[in-house]
C-alpha cells in the first residue's frame, strides 16, 4: 500500500482520550451494554467526539496563516474540551440545510449564532443565550462621504427611520429570520418592502455586495455587521430594525441532557476571563481588519502560506495531498524555513541532521529543497511500514507517527499491540494505545521492545493534530 493522501477527505476527527492499561493489560473503557438506549450526551462521550456545525465566514470559522480560527469554532472547542472529547466541524452556510443536518443526526449542535425565534422553537431546541443582538440595516454611505463637511450632511443621505424602507428592495439570506422581521415592518409602516431571498450568499457576502454596490440594502445581526464595517468603511450599520434578540446554539428537539450540559457549562463559562478575551479577540480587536484583508485568510485570499505553489507542485509530483503536507509544515515550523529546534532539527519540515543529509540537504537549502526532502522522507517511511497495514487511512497514521518519533518506536508499539492481543495493523485505539505506554517501565522494558523509552504523548498528539488541521484545511481551502 502506498502512502497516498491525494483526494483523501477525512470524515471524522481522530481525537480520543488517551487510555491506560490496568495490571491485567485490559484497556479501561466503559461502554453501555445490554441494549440500554443511550442519550445523545452519552453517545458523544462514547464515540469520543462532538460534531458541531458552523458557518464559514470571517467571524465564526476560517483559516488565517495556516491556523483554524473563529469565534464559534473556539467556543465549540472549549465545550468539547469540557466534555473531554474531540471536535469534528461540519460547515454549511445554508440555514435550511443546517436544520436538516441537525434533524437527521448528522451534527450534534448548530453553532452559527442563531437568532432565537418562536417559529424556530418548533424545529430545534435553543440553549441559553450566548449573547444578545439586534438586526440592523446595512447600507452604503454616499460616494463622496469623506469630503462632506458635516455628519449631518452624511446622515441626510442615509435611512435612519425604517419607514423610509417603503418600496425599497432589501436582499437577505434565504431562510433567515430577517424575512419575518421585514414582513412585520412592512405591515407596521403600511407600505410594501420588496424582499429578495438569496439562496447562494450568506450574510457576510451580502454585506460585501452592499459595499461594492451590487445591491443597495441587506439586513444583518449587529455584531456581524460591526465586524464587517471594519473591512468595508463605506457601509453604514447604524440603523436598527428590530428589538434586542437572543443568540444561541441549537440542538435537536428533546435532547434535554445535551441542552442541560451546554447550559450548565455556559453559565460558568460566560462569566470567565477566557470568555471575555475570546469575545474581544474577534469583536473588539482592531487587528481583525488585517486578518480579513490578508492573502493568507481563507475568506479573503484563500492561501494557507506563501509556499502554497511550491507545496502543490512537489505534492503533485509525489502523488500526495498538498493540504496534508501543509498541515505537517505548519506543525513542524509554522512555515518558517529557518526554524531550528533544540534537538537540532531545522527547516520547514524539521528534519534531523542525519535525515537531512540522507536526502541531500544542508543549511543553505532552499524552501523547495526542504519540502521535497521532507516528502521523500515520508515516502521512505511508508516503504518501511509492514505491508500488513493495508488500510490507507490507518497506514497514513503510522507514517505520521514515524515521521514524528522515529520508525523504531512505532514498530515497538506495533509489537506490543500484537503481544497484548490488539490489532497491530490499526493505529487508532490499538497501536496508539501502546505508543502512549512506551513511557512506562513495564512496557519500554518489555522483551519485544527494541528501542526503549519513548515519550508517547508526542507522536500520539502529532497524528491527531496533523489530521485535525488537515480536516480544517479541507473544510475551508477550496483549491
Task: Enumerate the active-site residues.
Answer: 332
The end-to-end CA distance of the chain, in Å, is 27
d(CA 189, CA 106): 42
Give the DSSP letter string of 6-26. TT----S--------B-TTS-
How many other CB atoms are found less than 10 A from the CB of residue 441?
8
The answer to whether residues 302 and 308 touch, using CB atoms and an 8 Å cutoff, is no
Q: Is 175 left (phi over 0), alpha (psi -120 to 50) or beta?
A: left
Q: Where are the alpha helices (DSSP H) in 57-127?
A: 71-83, 95-103
Q: Supply the DSSP string of 313-363, one letter for each residue.
A: HHHHHTT--HHHHHHHHHHHHTT-TT-B-TTS-BTTTTB-HHHHHHTT--T
Q: Would you state the cell numbers that stand for residue 340, as one nine-digit string? A: 531550528
Cell of 52: 458541531
* CB-based burial label for 24 (10 Å; 0-12, 13-18, 19+): exposed
Beta partners for residue 29, in sequence order: none
Rg of the chain, C-alpha, whole Å: 26
Rounded to 5 degrees, what are φ and ψ at 297?
Answer: -105, 130
Q: Calculate the dihedral angle through the C-alpha atoms of 353, 358, 362, 366, rounding to the nearest 10 degrees.
A: -120
Please, is 3 exposed, middle or buried when counting C-beta atoms within 10 Å of its C-beta (0-12, 13-18, 19+)? buried
Amino acid at each position: 500500500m502506498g502512502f497516498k493522501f491525494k483526494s483523501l477527505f477525512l470524515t471524522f476527527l481522530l481525537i480520543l482520550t488517551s487510555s491506560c492499561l490496568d495490571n491485567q493489560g485490559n484497556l479501561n473503557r466503559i461502554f453501555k451494554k445490554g441494549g440500554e438506549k443511550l442519550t445523545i450526551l452519552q453517545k458523544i462521550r462514547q464515540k469520543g467526539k462532538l460534531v458541531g456545525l458552523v458557518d464559514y465566514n470571517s467571524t465564526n470559522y476560517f483559516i488565517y496563516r495556516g491556523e483554524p480560527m473563529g469565534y464559534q469554532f473556539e467556543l465549540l472547542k472549549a465545550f468539547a474540551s469540557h466534555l473531554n472529547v474531540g471536535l469534528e466541524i461540519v460547515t454549511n452556510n445554508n440555514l435550511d440545510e443546517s436544520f436538516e443536518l441537525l434533524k437527521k443526526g448528522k451534527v450534534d449542535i448548530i453553532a452559527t449564532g442563531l437568532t432565537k425565534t418562536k417559529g424556530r422553537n418548533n424545529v430545534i431546541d435553543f440553549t441559553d443565550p450566548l449573547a444578545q443582538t439586534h438586526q440592523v440595516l446595512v447600507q452604503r454611505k454616499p460616494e463622496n462621504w469623506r469630503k462632506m463637511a458635516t455628519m449631518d450632511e452624511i446622515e441626510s443621505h442615509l435611512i435612519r427611520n425604517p419607514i423610509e424602507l417603503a418600496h425599497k428592495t432589501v436582499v437577505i439570506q434565504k431562510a433567515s429570520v430577517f424575512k419575518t422581521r421585514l414582513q412585520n415592518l412592512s405591515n407596521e409602516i403600511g407600505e410594501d418592502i420588496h424582499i429578495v431571498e438569496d439562496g447562494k450568499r450568506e450574510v457576510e457576502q451580502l454585506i460585501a455586495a452592499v459595499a461594492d454596490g451590487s445591491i443597495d440594502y441587506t439586513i444583518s445581526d449587529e455584531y456581524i455587521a460591526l465586524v464587517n464595517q471594519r473591512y468595508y468603511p463605506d457601509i453604514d450599520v447604524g440603523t436598527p430594525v428590530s428589538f434586542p434578540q437572543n443568540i444561541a446554539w441549537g440542538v435537536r428537539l428533546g435532547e434535554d441532557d445535551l441542552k442541560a450540559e451546554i447550559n450548565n457549562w455556559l453559565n460558568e463559562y460566560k462569566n470567565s476571563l477566557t470568555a471575555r478575551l475570546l469575545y474581544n479577540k474577534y469583536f473588539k480587536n482592531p487587528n481583525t481588519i488585517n486578518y480579513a484583508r490578508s492573502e493568507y485568510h481563507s475568506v479573503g485570499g484563500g492561501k494557507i502560506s506563501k509556499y502554497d505553489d511550491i507545496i502543490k507542485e512537489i505534492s503533485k509530483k509525489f502523488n500526495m495531498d498538498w493540504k496534508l503536507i501543509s498541515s505537517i509544515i505548519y506543525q513542524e515550523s509554522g512555515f518558517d524555513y529557518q526554524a531550528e529546534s533544540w534537538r537540532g532539527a531545522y527547516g520547514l519540515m524539521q528534519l534531523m541532521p542525519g535525515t537531512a543529509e540522507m536526502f541531500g540537504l544542508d543549511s543553505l537549502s532552499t524552501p523547495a529543497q526542504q519540502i521535497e526532502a521532507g516528502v521523500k522522507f515520508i515516502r521512505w517511511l511508508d516503504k518501511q511500514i509492514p505491508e500488513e497495514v493495508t488500510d490507507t487511512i490507518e497506514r497514513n497514521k503510522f507514517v505520521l507517527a514515524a515521521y514524528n518519533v522515529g520508525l523504531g518506536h512505532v514498530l515497538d508499539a506495533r509489537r506490543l499491540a500484537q503481544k497484548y492481543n490488539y490489532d497491530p495493523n490499526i493505529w487508532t485505539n490499538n497501536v496508539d494505545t501502546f505508543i502512549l505506554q512506551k513511557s512506562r517501565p513495564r512496557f519500554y522494558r518489555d522483551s519485544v521492545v527494541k528501542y526503549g523509552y519513548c515519550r508517547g504523548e508526542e507522536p500520539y498528539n502529532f497524528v491527531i493534530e496533523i489530521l485535525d488541521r488537515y480536516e480544517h484545511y479541507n473544510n475551508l481551502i477550496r483549491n
